Structure 1
């Protein structure tokens, strides 16, 4: 069974052969981030596919934020490249939850938190604790927090 990291490396090799500069540089940067994460602790280790997904998600988020910054700065060419790199990375991530799916999961978590005695804005932490494991990798934290806040404040 090939790991996600191996898949990234294979895709990088084929991108280089195809002279696909955008794909090659994006994958090269992402693999560098994976390697950096592998040697970050006290001892080097192999990342699990789940951990590699987290690195890819972090890299994709960086691209989205950079694209926004470039767009606001009027640098449309760089913004377009960042968007393209982000979309390339998104292809490796699990499909993100739609707004309806996310709202349903959060609504259920709010009910669970209420049952446990947590209500109102102070219940944010309790609800996030319930929601986060369910949506890990399927929705960005900021999006999740916004829905939780919206449902708690009514």
Structure 2
């Protein structure tokens, strides 16, 4: 089953269950996918849809951080619930240890020596971690191992 079909089925299930939060999050994803398709004038495949969802996950994490700093616990909880719905549509997220292993392999493969070679390492890593890991975490691990 394609990710697009899964989103449609999950949306129908959320409507039947009257799960407003889940329904809202799925509609948000479908809307963002449709907007990207219109912008790019093509139909997105599963990996394209995963990239859209990953960007929405990134937005949610940033919102959670900002609302937390502002002391808005109610909004933090709402964003966290939306984040969990979005994560259901992405592949399993990599742990920090798994990311460290991938980064070490990428450093060896690219022959990176220091911080100036971060771009080489990220170029090797990007296809392996897209949708499976938070980009900021990957970047921090790369900086830590190169620095």
TM-score by length of structure 2 reads 0.94
Matched, 1:146 2:145: no
1:1-150 equivalence runs, <5 A: 2-41=1-40, 43=41, 45-114=42-111, 118-150=112-144
Structure 2: give runs of 5+ residues left out of the alignment: none
Q: Which runs of 4+ in 1 moved over 2 A?
A: none
Asked if the contact 1:61–1:86 (Cα under 8 Å) also holds between the matched residues in 2, the reply is: no
Aligned length in residues: 147
- Structure 1 residue 108 displacement after superposition: 1.3
Greater relative contact order, per chain length (Cα 8 Å cut-off, separation 6+):
2
Q: RMSD over aligned Cα, in angstroms?
A: 1.2
Richer in helix (by share): 2
How far off is 1:3 after superposition? 2.0
Stretches of structure 1 lacking an aligned partner (at least 5 in a row): none
* Pairwise CA distance, 1:113: 2.4
How far apart, CA to CA, are the structure 1 residues paired with 2:56 and 2:43? 18
Q: Deviations over 1:90-129 (max 9, x none)?
A: 0111111111111111111112222xxx411111111111
Contact 1:57/1:93 (<8 A) preserved:
yes
The structure having more radius of gyration, on CA atoms, is 1
Please give the alpha-carbon distance, in whole angstroms, between the structure 2 residues aligned to 1:13 and 1:30.
14
- For 2:46 and 2:109, the matched residues in 1 are separated by 30
